[in-house]
Amino acid sequence: MSVKSKGLTVPDKNAADGANRGIRKYIRHNWQLWIMLFPAMLYILIFCYVPMYGIQLAFREYSFTAGITGGKFVGMKYFRQYFESPMFWTTLKNTFVISATSILVGFPVPIILAMVINQIRSPKWKRTVQTTVYIPYFISVVVLVSMLNIMFANDSGVIANFLKSLHIVSRDTNILGKESCFVPLYVLSGVWQTMGWNSIIFIAALSSVDTQLYDACKIDGANRWQKMFFITLPSISSSIIVMLIISIGNIFSVDLDRILLMYNPSVYETADVIQTYVYRIAFQATGFPNYSYGTAVNMLKSIIAFVLVIAANKLASKYSETRLF
């Protein structure tokens, strides 16, 4: 509400007081919720927003003596340095190829797995299958890469020898040292490790689908494939779209630990991504580490990911009723 005084619109003080009372009343009635949210909000504030103070390193020459804010302002120097670097297109291409392949292969798998688990009628077997597919997520990356090294070893690897016996790869091929094999090994190992955990949200979405829809389809003579395409997938489409937007936002994020452990000189041309490049220049550089350059490269990656999320969200809201924000 507002009142007019001498031709000017003045906010009604009573309306503002009423809104404040409404907010206080809401907080009093839901104080348990705010107490539960407080640790999460505090964590995000301390570990997500406060470190963003260091973004200014991308525009300054960092030195230990001057600190984060005391370095000389150099503007877009480090961004231009990365654009002009011979590693720019290599790291950008490798990061995009690995991440995009991970999404194309890894995103549908949890959905399919969730629909398969949802078809299991026995509660006991359903829990057993769910537990089995969740376990790989809790395996250490070191253990996972060690398993890859054992199974794909050139002479004694079980899977390597099996592929060679089928003449899929030649006898003298070292799969772990072949550039063209790095991306498939990285992607498939990641899918195997995370598909169970990523299926949880889709299993939860499937549990909310009205079972009467399936009964009606069964009466009409629909088979399982028709039920899946005309009931199951449309019913969880909102969850699928939201998770896809989030996955697109992570398109330039790769598992640095796994890549470093799978790293060897023969696959550098394929495995060298933005994160490994930043790690080298910021932490492994000879002499004084270039923290400002590393910050600029990572900031550029974050900007590109943010733009992709905005674009994906716009497309989702244009062609469906679901959006992330």
Q: Is the pLDDT of residue 22 over 80?
A: no
Same domain, 235 and 156: yes
The pair of three-digit structure tokens given for residue 291, joined into one six-digit string: 């923290």
pLDDT digits (tens, 9 = 90+) for 76-95: 999 999 999 999 999 999 99
Q: Which of 71, 98, 118 is the last residue of a domain?
A: 71
Q: What is the pLDDT of residue 286?
A: 58
Domain of 203, CATH number, reads 1.10.3720.10
Q: Is residue 148 part of a domain?
A: yes
Give the DSSP letter string of 140-153.
Answer: -HHHHHHHHHHHT-
pLDDT digits (tens, 9 = 90+) for 136-145: 999 999 999 9
Same domain, 220 and 149: yes
Q: Is residue 78 part of a domain?
A: no
Q: What is the pLDDT of residue 1?
A: 47
Check if the beta carbon of residue 294 is closer than 8 Å to that of residue 282.
Answer: yes
Q: Is the pLDDT of residue 4 over 80?
A: no
Q: Which of 21, 37, 71 is the last residue of a domain?
A: 71
Calpha distance 141→255 (Å, rounded): 9
Give the DSSP letter string of 268-292.
Answer: HHHH--HHHHHHHHHHS-SSS--HH
Same domain, 24 and 146: no
Q: Is residue 3 part of a domain?
A: no
Most confident of 67-81, 88-102, 210-224: 88-102
Q: Mean of the pLDDT values across residues 300-310? A: 91
Q: What is the pTM of this model?
A: 0.85
Range of the domain at 207: 84-319
Same domain, 56 and 153: no
Check if the beta carbon of residue 271 is closer than 8 Å to that of residue 260.
Answer: no
Same domain, 154 and 177: yes
Q: Mean of the pLDDT values across residues 158-186? A: 90
Same domain, 63 and 117: no
Q: Is residue 142 part of a domain?
A: yes
Q: What is the pLDDT of residue 197?
A: 93
Q: Is residue 2 part of a domain?
A: no
Q: Is residue 253 part of a domain?
A: yes
How large a percentage of the chain has pLDDT more than 90? 48
Same domain, 167 and 47: no
Q: Is residue 7 part of a domain?
A: no
Same domain, 43 and 125: no
Calpha distance 259→250 (Å, rounded): 16
Calpha distance 32→145 (Å, rounded): 44
Check if the beta carbon of residue 277 is closer than 8 Å to that of residue 297.
Answer: yes
Same domain, 90 and 39: no
3-state secondary structure of 11: strand
Among 180, 268, 148, smallest CA distance to 170 is for 180
Assign residue 67 a region (left: φ > 0; alpha: ψ between -120 and 50; beta: otherwise): left
Q: What is the pLDDT of residue 250?
A: 87
Q: Mean of the pLDDT values across residues 7-19? A: 58
Q: Is the pLDDT of residue 157 over 90?
A: no
Calpha distance 197→96 (Å, rounded): 24
pLDDT digits (tens, 9 = 90+) for 239-293: 999 999 999 988 888 899 999 999 888 898 899 999 999 888 877 665 567 888 9
Among 216, 237, 210, smallest CA distance to 316 is for 237
Q: What is the pLDDT of residue 321?
A: 79
Same domain, 173 and 62: no
Query: Counting every residue, how long is the chain?
Result: 325
Q: What is the pLDDT of residue 88?
A: 93
* Number of domains comprising the chain: 2
Q: What is the pLDDT of residue 154?
A: 84
- What's the N-to-C CA distance of the chain in angstroms? 29
Same domain, 149 and 212: yes
pLDDT grade, residue 36 (50/70/90)? Answer: very high
Q: Is residue 118 part of a domain?
A: yes
Most confident of 39-48, 161-170, 261-270: 39-48
Give the DSSP letter string of 122-178.
Answer: -HHHHHHHHHHHHGGGGS-HHHHHHHHHHHT-TTT-HHHHHHHHTTSS-TT--GGG-
Q: Is the pLDDT of residue 8 over 60?
A: no
Same domain, 94 and 124: yes
Q: What is the pLDDT of residue 12?
A: 57
Q: What is the pLDDT of residue 264?
A: 85
Q: What is the pLDDT of residue 274?
A: 92
